[in-house]
Amino acid sequence: MNDDRERRATELWFRARGLPSIVGGRADRLLVRIIPAIAFLLAWDLLNIPLEVLDGESEEHFERLMESDLLFAGYHLLWFAAFVAPVVAAWVAARWMRKRVVAGDGTPTAIALISVYTFGPLLEMALIGEELTLPDLLFGVLFGVGLIGVLLGLTLIGAGSVFGSALRSAGKQLKSVGSLTTRALPLLLLFAVFGLLTNEVWQMSAAASTSRMWLLVGLFLLVGILFLVSTARQELRKHIETAPQRVPLRRAERADMVLVLVLTQLVQALLVAMVMFVFFVLFGLAALKEDLMKTWSGRDLTTGNLFGVQLSAPHELLHVSLFIAAFSALYFITSTVTDALYRPAFFDPFTVEMAVSLAERDEYLARWHTASNVEVDQFHNRDQRPLGV
């Protein structure tokens, strides 16, 4: 029994590092393992209920509501909490989940929480007296059950472990936000301030629709991902050549390790982009008058909207801040790998973790996969291709 607990703990350690391919797709405690995702979705849905109420029926109604200082503060506090609370809820649920997986229990609690998420919206509609038709009832149940099925499938193939690892990386970076601010952001801020005060940037951002602006952000993201994938493949190849594994890495394991390194770097870049976006929105509201923003953008200012949530900041300022934040994130991605000032703090620690994972993989296979090593060797003999990491 103790050996089983130790094995589950070891496999959970690999999953926590975003490396589920090392232990393979196992259906053990699937209902318990999806609880962090359920907690994230529950927190998001609960906080969006009051936000939708305060959003009002129109822009005019929203502006009248925001005339109240109390509603203004409460609305923006809820908006901030809607992005922070789900992450915190998922983190707390993940801590609970890890203990339950190692102990081999927690299924009844998981079923109860999944039932709340699946049928809670229907119960809420019934309590407030909203009429429920049979098609609405069937759609609500089928949607909830289908979403749970998708989460179970993603968890089985290891997607939940990879995303969970990315969230934990975000938490680690929040702890070192002082280092991030003092070492990475000053040069970015110096460069980006001039972008905010450039007439052409305002005209371009104001003329672009929201969908076109997100396409531009997606282009920056794609370039950053391609750069990180190439870099991560080179780093993994370097580690493999330095310390060859007793059992050669399977293709899925190589892809998993590359994906983890790419995601951790993207999490850092996302944190930089969020800091830059918030800073320039606040800086624009404090330093730029509405008449000046109107002159630069060449159009009347409109109420800001982000992910369907209205903000008390001009839409044009949000577009400019989003463009600067996306460009800054791309600059940060390339700098963490190529710049000797940033790399030791923001890239090298993750390559060290990669080396640790490779060493622990050998220990895991030697202890618990001894009986199946023949099958592993047969698999690699059947797949003798050059190591194109």
Q: How far apart are CA 207 and CA 276, in angstroms?
A: 22
Phi-psi region of 308 (alpha: psi -120 to 50; beta: other; left: phi over 0): left
How much is the pLDDT for 378?
Answer: 44
The HSE-up count of residue 20 (CA atoms within 13 Å, CB side) is 17
Contact yes or no for 276/326 (Cβ under 8 A): no
Dihedral sign of CA atoms 119, 121, 127, 132 in order: negative
Task: Kindly report the number of other CB atoms within 10 A of residue 287's CB atom.
Answer: 12
Q: How far apart are CA 389 and CA 189, in angstroms?
A: 36
Q: Cα 277 to the chain's mean position, in Å?
A: 17
Q: Quote the pTM value.
A: 0.69
The HSE-up count of residue 325 (CA atoms within 13 Å, CB side) is 24
At 117-158, the pLDDT tens digits run 887 776 666 655 566 666 767 777 788 888 888 888 888 777
Token pair of 152 as six digits: 């179970």
At 187-241, the pLDDT tens digits run 666 667 777 777 777 888 777 888 888 898 999 999 999 999 998 888 888 877 7
Q: Cα 184 to the chain's mean position, in Å?
A: 21
Tell me what percent of the residues of the chain surpass a pLDDT of 90: 4
Q: How far apart are CA 258 and CA 280, in angstroms?
A: 33
Q: Cα 164 to the chain's mean position, in Å?
A: 8
How much is the pLDDT for 56?
Answer: 63
Phi, psi of 222 (to 5 degrees): -65, -45
Q: How far apart are CA 115 and CA 100, in angstroms?
A: 19
Among 252, 242, 267, 232, which residue's Cα sits nearest to residue 14?
Answer: 252
Phi, psi of 313 (to 5 degrees): -140, 145
Which contiguous run of DSSP H or E holds residue 281?
Answer: helix 251-287
Q: How far apart are CA 312 and CA 289, in angstroms?
A: 14
Contact yes or no for 11/24 (Cβ under 8 A): no
Q: What is the mean pLDDT of residues 348-357?
A: 80
At 14-65, the pLDDT tens digits run 877 777 777 765 666 788 888 888 899 888 888 877 777 776 666 677 777 7
* Beta bridge partners of residue 304, listed in sequence order: 311
Maximum pairwise Cα distance, the chain: 74
At 265-283, the pLDDT tens digits run 888 888 888 888 888 888 8
Among 325, 317, 322, which residue's Cα sits nearest to residue 284?
Answer: 317
Token pair of 17 as six digits: 């590092």
Contact yes or no for 114/38 (Cβ under 8 A): yes
Contact yes or no for 354/265 (Cβ under 8 A): no
Instruction: Quickly state the pLDDT bin for 284 (edges 50, 70, 90).
Output: confident
AA letter at 251? R
Higher pLDDT, 79 or 330: 330
Contact yes or no for 160/154 (Cβ under 8 A): yes
Helix (H, G, I), strand (E, B) or coil at 313: strand
